[in-house]
Structures are given as structure tokens and as C-alpha cells.
Amino acid sequence: MIAAACHIHSTWSYDGKWTLPVLAAEFSRRGYRVLLTTEHDLGFTEARRLEHRAACAAASTSEILVVSGIEYSDAANRIHVLVWGPVPFVGERVPTTEMLKAVKAANGVAVLAHPSRKEAWKFFESSWTEHLLGIEIWNRKTDGWAPSRTASELIKNSPAIPFVGMDFHDRNQFFPLTMALDLTGIIDEESVLACLRDRRCRALALNRPVEATAQGWFNVALRSVERCRRSAAVVYRAVRKRRTS
């Protein structure tokens, strides 16, 4: 099994803070073997997608593979889908159903991102499940230090598998969320994609199967910690605003 970090934004995204080489070095140092990038579709074109692929290849080393990917969003900026694979750029703000069909036709891999953000889960269409490999059950940026309740319900009612993603933009999104890939031998983009397509992967959170963190006492503890974290963050922002005003 090898560790993959998913849902990673670099400076190729309008809100990313770290360059691809710096991301590769830092995630490699933390024990990851694969970095699944997902740059925002805003501002992308097919030419830019190809340039990003080349930049990912250049940032890859013998220690870590950087895989090019795009995070597509709908016109309302509510439904977001992570896409990897040989998919020509679909376009900005394309309707989700149309985008998913294009991804499937190109043999790409699609994962629904952070269904709790903007209550995206309420707009989920059952027809999407035939095109989705997975659904993010835990997104560090949106869900914080506990998994999403709404994602769990979506996964129960679909063939999609649980995914975890850091939604990394800057250092505060580092968190022990890992997709463990059952992969041996050559590690390249095609072998990683084949591993995902075959569902030879498992979502881990805090070094445990993510399902174990979404139930029982462990889940209760995580949600308690997350409530405290959010409360502390509100106080910190208020104090910081007062000091700078």
C-alpha cells in the first residue's frame, strides 16, 4: 500500500499558496508517495491543462508522483467534482451532469467534493452515481477535524466509495487524511488511475479506516474537538480583528 494525498491546490489555482515543487517536497517528507492535485477550473483552458500536466511531471521525483487534476464547479459554485485522467478540459461552470458524462467518455476518474459545503448534498442527483468513483466523506477545509454526516448518507445510498481530501491551499490544511492505494511495482499516472478505477484503494483518517472514525465514541470525540476548534477560531479572529483595527 502507498499513501496518496488528495484534493491538493497549488499556485496554479487562483487561491493556492504553494508551488508544485514545494508541495511535492513537503508531502514527500511527510511520507506520501502520490500527490493528486485538483486545480480550480476557473481560468483554465485546454492549453493550460497541458501546461499543468507538464509542470506536474517536472515536479515529480523518484520519491513522489505529482498527478495533474482539475476541480470542476457548476454555475452556482455549489457542486464541485475532482477529476483526474486523460480528460480534455471540459470548460468553466459546466453543468455537472454534462461534465460527468464527458469525464466518463474520456475514461477519467471523478469524485464528488465536500458535499457539506453550501449544502451541496441537497442538490445531489442520483443519476450522477454511475459516473462517480467516490464521494469525499471527510474534507479538511470544509469539515474540519471530523467527517461529514451528509456525505455518509450519500455514500450509503450509492455505489460510490468514501474518499478523504485535505482541500489543501495552505499549511493549516495539513491533516492525516490519506487514500491508501493497493499498488506495487511501477508507480506512474496510469498505474495510479488504474488502481483508482479498480477501487483498490481505501480512505484513512488519523491512520485508521475512515469508517471507524465516523461512528461510535471516536466520532463523538472528534465532533466535540471540532466544536471547540471552531469556537476557538471565532474568538481568535475577533481578537485579531480588534488588534488590527
For residue range 131-148, list pLDDT tens digits in order. Answer: 999 999 999 999 988 898
Reported as a single tens digit per residue, the pLDDT across 48-63 is 999 999 999 999 999 9
* pLDDT (0 to 100) of residue 18: 97
Position 240 scores a pLDDT of 66
pLDDT of residue 55: 98
Residue 230 banded pLDDT, cuts 50, 70, 90: low
* CATH of the domain spanning 2-214, picked from 3.30.390.50, 2.60.40.10, 3.20.20.80, 3.20.20.140: 3.20.20.140
Average pLDDT over residues 228-233: 67
Q: Each residue of 5-21: pLDDT tens digit?
A: 999 999 999 999 999 99
- Greater pLDDT, 47 or 239: 47
Residue 26, pLDDT > 70, answer: yes
3 state SS for the chain = CEEEEEEECCCCCCCCCCCHHHHHHHHHHCCCCEEEECEECCCCCHHHHHHHHHHHHHHCCCCCEEECEEEEECCCCCCEEEEECCCCCCCCCCCHHHHHHHHHHCCCEEEECCCCHHHHHHHCCHHHHHCCCEEEEEEHHHHCCCCCHHHHHHHHCCCCEEEEECCECCHHHCCCEEEEECCCCCCCHHHHHHHHHCCCEEEEECCEEHHHHCCHHHHHHHHHHHHHHHHHHHHHHHHHHHHHC
Is a pLDDT exceeding 90 seen at residue 227?
A: no
- The residue type at 163: F
Mean pLDDT of 182-201: 95
Domain coordinates in residue numbering, the chain: 2-214, 217-245
